[in-house]
Amino acid sequence: MISDIKYTISLLEPHIVKIHIHEDAEIDLKDAKLMREQALTLVDGQKFTILFDANHRGNITPEARTQFACQEYTDVRIGAAIVTNSIANKIIGNFFIKFNKPASPTRIFSNESAAIEWLRDRIKHSI
């Protein structure tokens, strides 16, 4: 597990990296780049998926959103699941998917278990 004042990253299971954003954190471009490096460290450079816990209030800058969606960021990321029960965060997540068009498959879930099953399926078909 890697913890920062803004977020915590952990290896949930092989090839599934969980990112938990702390309450009221602002994630900027520097954070987005560091998260990629830290995720790669947790999976020893192997392909991985992201379980993004978006249940707290916070902000992701436009530059960070662009970074999260770009091919460079997703060259080893084979899928991302955004989990939230917040209607506002679901709207923001859908905006991210439609506007930023992530280079790897990305879906929004209300249930973490369903998100993990979807990520496991992505792993099974990609690794």
Strand partners, 60: 27
Rama region for 2: left / alpha / beta (φ>0; ψ in -120 to 50; rest): beta
Q: Which domain holds residue 51?
A: 2-126
Token look-up 């923001």 returns 92
So what's the pLDDT on residue 73? 75
Please, which pLDDT band fits residue 57 given cuts at 50, 70 and 90? confident
Residue 4's alpha-carbon distances to 1, 8, 17, 75, 87, in angstroms, are: 10, 6, 15, 24, 26
Please, which pLDDT band fits residue 58 given cuts at 50, 70 and 90? confident
Number of domains in the chain: 1
Q: What is the CATH number of the domain that holds 27?
A: 3.30.750.24
So what's the pLDDT on residue 56? 86
Residue 64's SS3 state is helix
Please, which pLDDT band fits residue 4 given cuts at 50, 70 and 90? confident
Q: What is the pLDDT of residues 9-46, one digit of tens each?
A: 999 999 999 999 999 999 999 999 999 999 999 999 99
Taking the C-alpha atoms of residue 41 and residue 100, their distance in angstroms, rounded to an integer, is: 25
